[in-house]
Amino acid sequence: MSKSERINITVVAEKRINGKPIKSDEPFYNCWCEILQLYGTELYQAINIKLENTIIFKVRYCKLLEQLQDKKEYKVNFKGHTYKIYHTDFAKEYKKYILLKCDFIK
């Protein structure tokens, strides 16, 4: 990996407080990653489906990150910004790296 950056991955958990469901972000995993950008047809597809603020985080594979394939809502916190993970790519470099495709939230 060329330039490494630190990210925090959180999972949206639903708790009940006084019988009302409340969603909150709970820490899931902290790791180093490489920041990648979309290019070529992947970039044009993202623009067509209104995902202009997409970023890719390339992280090292670990068993815990296999949970990202579940249909839960995961987010990445990076430099004070929050990104929603909309796709995880395990196939490209199987059990070596995982690509987290994320869209900017706030």
Q: Residue 76, CB half-sphere, CA atoms under 13 Å: how many?
A: 29
- pLDDT for residue 43: 58
Look at the block and give the residue holding tokens 């995993």: 29
Domain of 33, CATH number, reads: 2.40.10.270
Q: Which residues of the chain have pLDDT under 50?
A: 1
Query: What was the pLDDT predicted at 1?
Result: 43
pLDDT at 93: 75
pLDDT at site 54: 82
What whole-number distance in Å separates Cα of residue 67 and Cα of residue 70?
6
Claim: this prediction has a pTM higher than 0.95? no
Domain count, the chain: 1
Task: List the domain range (segments joined by +) for residue 78.
Answer: 4-104
Q: Where are the beta strands (DSSP E) in the chain?
A: 4-17, 20-36, 54-60, 74-78, 81-89, 97-104
